[in-house]
Chains A and B, each alone.
Chain A
Amino acid sequence: MGHFSFYLSTIVVYFGIDLMAAWALNLQYGYAGVINFAFIVFQAAGAYVAGTVVLGPDTGTNSYQHYILGANLPFPVPLLAAALAGAVLSAVIGLFAVRRIRRDYQAAVMLIVSLILLQVVTSDIHLFNGANGITGIPHPLYTALGFSLSSYQWVYALWVLALCAVLYVIVERLGRSSWGRSLRAIRDQEDAAASLGLNGTLLRLEVFVIGGAIAGLSGGLLVEFIGAWSPGAWGYAETFVIFTALLVGGVGNNRGMLLGTLIVPILVLELPTFLPTIGYPGLIGAIQWIIIGLAWMLFLLLRPRGILPERRFRAPRPLADDTVRSAAARWVARVLTLGRPDMAPRGPRLGAAAGRAPVPDDVPVAGDPAVATARVRQAPSGADEG
């Protein structure tokens, strides 16, 4: 049982961290359409920074690892540093990569970024100890809390899940805000959105940096849990795992990420460690990557919007007064729309002049790009931006 508990707590931690990564990528790709094939790089940046700032200054005495940024920072600071590292790196890369270039070029450029940074960190041992990576990163507050390792694992799992809960609220709020609607508008019809005064490049850069910060944070949490980080952990294909989770779960749907993360990184990548090994070392890994690649291609072909597709924001149709005014009907409406005010049917505002079209107070109105977009998207999509 002890082994099983240990294994389960590890899975829970990985699930939480992958979920954060999936939400971050969903902000970037699901909401804003930025194809960030370098996603794992930002997670790695967070991991390296969170690792080195607790390892102490690199005095050169321990000959087995060399690193930059060595320091002895107390518990929550390394995570903040990780988020900051992800954000700063995103800002630097975003400045040239999320400009208004064709999205297939953008994807290729991101892939190049990912491959080249991996090469650099691997071959320059003075940055983060090259191919061997950094090791010996202590668990945060491990001695202070005084738990046994298996209990500590569960404490850590709860800590990660608590952060996930906070992050869920944040990404959902961001997605529903006018900022989130603007993102969707530039994603779907950049020209139309620009004509309404939205700055696509700036919006993409903003979401890129926010997603990068979350990615960095998830990397920090990961390195504090596993205690080591090396180039083997962030090959370009790792980005793919998160992307596949996104595609399977549902592009643009934060709840879909729960499902996608459960299926892809956990079911396909983590659970098989339970199975007896077959063949030569590396065979299972290769088979897993092929499964992920095929799942990815099949979803793009058959269900490109995922199992739980993005819910569309609709301008609500006003119902007849008496239906909505009755408290029971309003309650039913709320239940049906899962408590999302932006989707609830609304009646005319009290005291609206008879004969005038009802104007709900806090729903998207005609000038709102999301509404414009929603209409344009109904039309046969001929003007795809590519």
Chain B
Amino acid sequence: MNVLVQTLGFGIVSASIIAVGAMGFTIQFGLTNVLNLSYGATMTVAAFVAYLTEQAGINIWLGMVLGGVAGAVLTIFLGKTVFKLYARRGTRLFEMVMVTLGLGLVIEYSVDIVARDKIYSVSFPQGASFHLGAATLTASQLALVGVGIVIFLALEALLRLTRLGKALRAMAVDPGLARSCGIPTNRIVNATWLISGFLCGVAGVIYVINSLSVDYSTGLLFLPVVLAAAILGGVGSPRGALLASLLLGVVTELVAAAGFSSYSSVAAFGVLVVVLLSKPSGVLNAAARKVELTV
């Protein structure tokens, strides 16, 4: 029983690490329809920014914000240049995925060149241990859970309570109609790149705080589970992404606790497969809903 509670605790920590990335991914994909596989590479860039700030002796929480800003800047740059260029040339959805994968490869190995192909270890004090019932978590783990919750609440508030949020939701449903209602779609897309890029950057930093090392493939190791959570949660829904992250986090930790740590990510993937097989709406090749790139 105690093991179960401890596992649940670790699962929630994993979930909050996954959730930030998944929420960023899901709003980006939901609004622009670009299934952006270079998201992992952007996380890597942000993780390196966090590493540099740590080396410079800057507080890690400030480093997290800086990593987020780096992610936002890189994402809006890519959005306004690369993605826009391809979208204008009539690149189709499935070709766009291929473009983003190539872009991810280019970014990733550019980082590799700058980092001289080395793994850098990052040291953060884990802080005191806290006992919550039978679960023992460190201060930094609790802080990560806190960050996850704060970001979720902030994102929900943004989407539900502000004009920008309303515009974002309108555009996710029907970009054409949104434009004809006077919503400045171009600006909304910019806002999407910024918000999702910020979350992507923060996610990269969070991952590093937890794993304590960074190299050029950091984001790539993290990408499968983020993608799985975003797809599982339903595109464009931060709430869904959060729930999916909880499910995936707990499942992976349960499998690891049962002694199959090599297979914990497979278990997460198994959950995704079950969902794909049971045909959720949105994942299907919806002939009824015409999906276009809005970049």
Q: Which A residues form the contact surface with B (CB < 8 A)?
A: 33, 35, 37, 96-97, 99-109, 111-113, 115-116, 119-120, 123-124, 190-191, 236-237, 240, 243, 280-283, 286-287, 289-290, 292-294, 296-297, 300-301, 304, 384-386
Given that A107-B35, A281-B117 are contacting pairs, would A385 and B285 also be in contact in the complex, using a CB cutoff of 8 Å? yes
Q: How far is the CA of A109 from the CA of B94 in the complex (A)?
A: 13
**Do most interface residues of chain B lie in helix, strand or loop, or is the interface mixed?**
helix
* B78-134 with Cβ < 8 A to chain A: 82, 85-86, 89, 91-99, 101-103, 105-106, 108-110, 112-113, 116-117
Q: Is the CB of B284 within 8 A of A101?
A: yes
B62 at the binding interface (Cβ < 8 Å)? no
Q: Is the CB of B231 within 8 A of A108?
A: yes
Q: Is the CB of B109 within 8 A of A102?
A: no
**Do most interface residues of chain A lie in helix, strand or loop, or is the interface mixed?**
helix
Q: How far is the CA of A300 from the CA of B99 in the complex (A)?
A: 7
B273 at the binding interface (Cβ < 8 Å)? yes
Q: Is the CB of A297 within 8 A of B102?
A: yes
Which 4 residue pairs across A and B have the least CB separation, nearest first?
Answer: A282-B117, A293-B105, A103-B94, A293-B106
A122 CB, nearest partner CB in chain B, Å: 8
Q: Is the CB of B98 within 8 A of A107?
A: yes
Given that A109-B276, A283-B117, A293-B103 are contacting pairs, would A386 and B291 also be in contact in the complex, using a CB cutoff of 8 Å? yes
Q: Is the CB of B263 within 8 A of A300?
A: no
Q: Report A-chain residues with C-beta under 8 Å of the C-beta of B214.
A: none
Q: Report A-chain residues with C-beta under 8 Å of the C-beta of B102.
A: 240, 293-294, 296-297, 300
Q: Is the CB of A116 within 8 A of B265?
A: yes
Q: How far is the CA of A119 from the CA of B264 in the complex (A)?
A: 10
Q: Is the CB of B97 within 8 A of A107?
A: yes
Q: Is the CB of B285 within 8 A of A101?
A: yes
Stretch at the interface among B136-144, B148-156, B165-173, B221-229: B221-229
Which single residue of chain A is at the shortest CB-CB distance from B222? A115
Q: Is the CB of B35 within 8 A of A104?
A: yes
Q: Report A-chain residues with C-beta under 8 Å of the C-beta of B92.
A: 384, 386
User: Can you show 14 pairs from A to B with CB atoms below 8 A apart?
Assistant: A99-B276, A101-B276, A105-B231, A107-B98, A112-B272, A116-B224, A116-B265, A286-B113, A286-B117, A289-B106, A293-B109, A297-B106, A304-B95, A386-B291
B115 CB, nearest partner CB in chain A, Å: 10
B205 at the binding interface (Cβ < 8 Å)? no
Which single residue of chain B is at the shortest CB-CB distance from A304? B95
Q: Is the CB of A104 within 8 A of B94?
A: yes
B107 CB, nearest partner CB in chain A, Å: 9
Q: Is the CB of B117 within 8 A of A123?
A: no
Q: Report B-chain residues with C-beta under 8 Å of the C-beta of A119.
A: 221, 262, 265
